[in-house]
Amino acid sequence: MPGLLPEPSPAELDFWCQQAEHQQGLAELNAPSPIQFGLECALLSALRPGKPRWDTPFSRGEMGIPIHHLIWMDDCDKMLDAMQRGIDAGFSCLKMKVGALPFDEELELLRHAHAAFPHAELRVDANGAFRPHEALRKLEALASAGVSLIEQPIRPGQRESLAAICRNTPLPIALDEELISTSLENLLDTVRPQALVIKPSLHGGLLAAEKLALMAEERGIRWWVNSALESHVGLTALAEWCAYAAPGTMQGLGKGTLFADDACRSLYLVGCELKMQTN
């Protein structure tokens, strides 16, 4: 989706496909993340033609992957209605985008949601909307409103401020956009976040995601995967990898309903779980 993801031009895509063909693999290819992710998925499919990329209970249709219910930015009444629909559908985790409305309005909405849905987990994603000097005050207010976790409170590239916030935060912080970096090991060691949101199509592909997940586990940092506007082709690959790499973990995958015209529809939603069509 041009303008929403760092999509390559057709010529750039052709170049990297030729490079992969020339060296008969992806070792040391270092293509842009969306291309790397696509080529990895294609080669994994070629290794198991007509079969899932990984043989797991999920790929056999025996179990689903729990996901959260994402609340898109809107006015407060519409966001509350969206939360109610998620609860009615069986979701146990509601994730709300913050930073578009006045903070006091968002805070009041979250307090209302916490009171109305006391058994649901509330997460928020700031997408870097807070300024460093105000972040801790806002995090304290969010924690008091019942929020359990926040993603990317300040914009990327402010590592010293982010490290101080992570040291003093009243609720867990998950890094997202900050992970589009070339020095991830140093980032984890200096910032010490409580969690990571890994997006393989933005963070270097599946192999890079696997390395990042391992680095997180070695440091006692939680991690999960979010999708990034992939079609069913990419979303299915992400779901298969999640079921293999972190079985039973709640993921931030899409519901497979983003595009009206989509190909290879193999996922469907049952309650709060993504399941895979096996026939």
| 97 is annotated as an active-site residue | yes
Q: What DSSP element (H or E) covers 59?
A: none
The catalytic residue among 95, 97, 138, 275 is 97
- Reduced to 3 states (helix: H, G, I; strand: E, B; else coil), residue 132 is helix
**In the numeric block, which tokens belong to residue 36?**
């790397």
Spell out where the chain has E strands.
65-66, 69-71, 93-97, 121-125, 147-151, 173-175, 195-198, 222-225, 267-270, 273-276
Contact criterion met (CB below 8 Å) for 230 and 238:
yes
| Short-list 36, 58, 119, CA closest to 83 | 119
The catalytic residue among 199, 211, 255, 275 is 199
| 95 is annotated as an active-site residue | no
Contact criterion met (CB below 8 Å) for 90 and 114:
no
Residues 169, 220: Cα–Cα separation, whole Å: 17
Residues 138, 157: Cα–Cα separation, whole Å: 20
Residues 31, 263: Cα–Cα separation, whole Å: 24
Tell me which residue has tokens 């790499």. 245
Contact criterion met (CB below 8 Å) for 197 and 175:
yes
Residues annotated as part of the active site: 97, 199
